[in-house]
Amino acid sequence: MRSSKTIHVVSAHAEGEVGDVIVGGVTPPPGDTIWEQSRWIARDQTLRNFVLNEPRGGVFRHVNLLVPPKHPEADAAFIIMEPEDTPPMSGSNSICVSTVLLDSGILPMQEPVTEITLEAPGGLVRVRAECRDGKAERIFVQNLPSFAERLDARLEVEGLGTLTIDTAYGGDSFVIVDAASMGFALKPDEAHDIARLGVRITNAANAALGFNHPENPDWKHFSFCLFAGPVERTAEGLRAGAAVAIQPGKVDRSPTGTALSARMAVLHARGQMGLEDRLTAVSLIGSTFSGRILGTTTVGDRPAVLPEISGRAWITGTHQHMLDPSDPWPEGYRLTDTWGAR
Ligand SMILES: O=C(O)[C@H]1NCC[C@@H]1O
Question: What CA–CA distance (Å, rounded) separates 172 from 273?
Answer: 20
Instruction: Report the separation in Å between the CA atom of 9 and the middle of ligand 1, taken as the mean of its atom positions.
Output: 19
Q: Which pLDDT score, from 0 to 100, does residue 184 have?
A: 98
| 338 falls within a domain | no
Q: Which domain holds residue 128?
A: 6-142+315-320
| E runs forming strands in the chain | 6-14, 17-18, 20-24, 63-67, 76-81, 113-120, 123-132, 135-142, 147-157, 161-169, 173-178, 224-228, 232-234, 237-246, 250-251, 279-282, 288-299, 302-311, 313-322
Residues 125 and 164 in one domain: no
Q: Are 262 and 279 contacting, i.e. CB atoms less than 8 angstroms apart?
A: no
117 belongs to a structural domain = yes
Among 164, 190, 156, 152, smallest CA distance to 283 is for: 190
**What is the domain-level CATH number for residue 112?**
3.10.310.10
List, for the chain, all residue ranges whose pLDDT scores fall below the cut of 50.
Answer: none
Q: In terms of domains, do 170 and 255 share one?
A: yes
Domains held by the chain: number: 2
User: Does the active-site annotation cover 90?
Assistant: yes
Contacts (Cβ under 8 Å, ≥6 apart) of 144? 88, 89, 120, 122, 123, 125, 170, 171, 261
Q: Answer yes or no: do 213 and 176 share one domain.
A: yes
In a domain, 222, yes or no: yes
Examine the domain organization and report whether 203 and 220 are in the same domain.
Answer: yes
Same-domain status, 175 and 105: no
Note the pLDDT of residue 34.
Answer: 98
Amino acid identity of 245?
Answer: A
Pair 219, 248 in one domain: yes
User: ipTM value of the model?
Assistant: 0.99
Please tell me whether residues 47 and 157 are part of one structural domain: no
Q: Is residue 58 domain-shared with residue 138, that is, in the same domain?
A: yes
Question: Is residue 208 domain-shared with residue 294, that is, in the same domain?
Answer: yes
Q: What is the DSSP letter of 54?
A: B
Based on the fold, state whether residues 177 and 64 are members of the same structural domain. no
pLDDT of residue 238: 98
DSSP 182: G
What is the CA(256)–ligand 1 centre distance, in A? 5
Q: Is 146 in the pocket of ligand 1 (CB under 6 A)?
A: no
44 within a domain of the structure (yes/no): yes
The per-residue pLDDT for 317 is 98
Residues 77 and 91 in one domain: yes
Ligand 1 centroid – CA 219 distance (Å): 16
Give the pLDDT confidence score for residue 142 in this predicted structure.
98
To test the pocket of ligand 1, the residue of 90, 222, 260, 312 to mutate (highest count of ligand atoms within 8 Å of its CB) is 90
